[in-house]
Amino acid sequence: MQIFLDTAEIDEIRARTAAGLVDGITTNPSLIAKSGADIFERIAEICEVISGPVSAEVVATDTQGMLSEGRRLRAIAPNVVVKLPLTRDGLAACRTFADEGVPTNVTLCFSLNQALLAAKAGATFVSPFVGRIEDMGGDGIGLLAAIREVYDQFGYETGILAASLRSALHVEEAARIGCDAATLPPKIFDSMVAHPLTDAGLKAFLEDWNKTGRGGLG
Ligand code: G3P
């Protein structure tokens, strides 16, 4: 499963790329606004750090506007993925981009029908928002499973990008379902590696070793 960071903070991205575990980045208008950066400059900076997919979202709401903004975003770097809202206009823009070979991420997906339409429109990725569905009392993980089932049934190649994830457990559930990618805030990415028994075990190993007085393995 590909792991994307859901952030527009360049320092947070730089701090997490060393181990090669981050496959891409997703941003949205809220994250770009929060960063205070110019969207074109920030996406260019991110694309210098990450060679995998970098989702940059349009803010136009009509198809022509989305196509125009998407083309400007796409011109920043070859790994830019144009993020489009799951609306009628967004799906029309998605179809045009698919026909042109431009990668897309159709976002704000909250139902199986929406995911089905995104696949039919030729989306590269569809982003179901797990956490926001759960915030409303719905079954976000169940939606991921339903999309996986239907995409496999009909052979749709659209990648399922689990989004709006709120915990490390959400990441595990997305992986078990067979999502193609998951995007997570940096703090959830950090929590994937942490386990109290790892920390306690390492502490005990090193205490035992230090008692021997042998020092490092240099
Ligand atoms: O970027 C899309 C999605 O991951 C947003 O998540 O936490 O704002 O619901 P959230």
pLDDT in tens, 9-62: 999 999 999 889 999 999 999 999 999 999 999 999 999 999 999 999 999 999
- Terminal-residue alpha carbon distance, the chain: 36
Residue 217 inside a domain? The answer is no
What pTM was computed for the model?
A: 0.95
Tell me the residue range of the domain where 181 lies.
2-210
Say what the pLDDT of residue 54 is: 98
- 159 is a domain residue: yes
Nearest CA to ligand 1 atom 3: 164
* Active-site position among 34, 83, 120, 211: 83
129 alpha carbon – ligand 1 mean position (Å): 7
In this structure, is residue 218 part of a structural domain?
Answer: no
Those residues whose C-beta lies under 8 Å from the C-beta of residue 70, and which sit 6 or more positions away, are 58, 82, 84, 93, 97, 102, 104
Tally the domains of the chain: 1
Flag whether 153 is in a domain: yes
Asked if the structure places residue 58 within a domain, the reply is: yes
In this predicted structure, the answer to whether residue 218 has a pLDDT above a threshold of 90 is no
Closest residue CA from atom 9 of ligand 1: 164
| CATH number of the domain where residue 61 is located | 3.20.20.70
**Domain-located, residue 148:** yes
Query: Whole-number mean pLDDT of the chain?
Result: 97
Q: Whose CA is nearest to atom 4 of ligand 1?
A: 164
Ligand 1 contact via 163 beta carbon (within 6 Å): yes
Residue 215 lies in a domain: no
Whether the CB-CB separation of 183 and 163 falls below 8 Å is answered with: yes
- CA dist 209 and 119 (Å) reads 56
Is the residue at 16 inside a domain? yes
